[in-house]
């Protein structure tokens, strides 16, 4: 069981060869968990990548389809609000939502965001 953030999903879905170890971690995790905002964050990242010509619109569309096919338990942010607020001095609200969920579920957070990993104290973080 792991909590996966948007950066990990975007990289795993758009660059499968480059992030093969990450894909293996996701498929071998048993179960994937994320706050509900993960879908919007992935779409926003893909939109930016298409606009910046880092990926094609076709590849982004394929990544979104693959995201939809993932078995990913999504959690409402409202249930994490108190824990997220407690983290406000060292981490963004969006990132804190992933950290709070990982703490609540007592499982590792998987990310490609080194800044998030440095800020996430008290939980195991795996950076790819």
Half-sphere exposure of 80 (CA within 13 A, CB side): 24
Reference 114, options 95, 100, 101, 86; nearest CA is 95
**Binding-site annotation, residues:** 5, 95
Query: Which domains are delineated in the chain?
Result: 2-127 (3.40.50.1010)
Q: How confident is the model at residue 22 (pLDDT cuts 50, 70, 90)?
A: very high
**Binding-site annotation, residues for Mg(2+):** 5, 95
- pLDDT tens string 77-128: 999 999 999 999 999 999 999 999 999 999 999 999 999 999 999 999 999 9
The whole-model pTM stands at 0.96
When pLDDT is averaged across residues 23-48 and rounded to a whole number, the result is 98
Q: How far is CA 50 from CA 42, 57, 62, 70, 91, in A?
A: 12, 6, 12, 22, 27
* pLDDT for residue 115: 96
């Amino acid at each position: 069981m792991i909590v996966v953030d948007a950066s990990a999903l975007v990289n795993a879905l758009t660059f499968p060869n480059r992030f093969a170890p990450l894909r293996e971690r996701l498929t071998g995790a048993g179960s994937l968990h994320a706050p509900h905002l993960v879908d919007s964050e992935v779409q926003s990242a893909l939109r930016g990548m298409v606009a910046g010509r880092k990926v094609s619109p076709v590849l982004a569309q394929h990544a979104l389809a693959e995201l939809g096919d993932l078995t990913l338990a999504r959690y409402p942010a409202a249930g994490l609000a108190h824990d997220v607020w407690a983290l406000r001095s060292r981490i963004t609200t969006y990132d804190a939502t992933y950290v709070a969920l990982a703490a609540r579920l007592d499982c590792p957070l998987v990310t490609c965001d080194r800044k998030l990993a440095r800020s996430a104290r008290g939980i195991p973080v795996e950076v790819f």
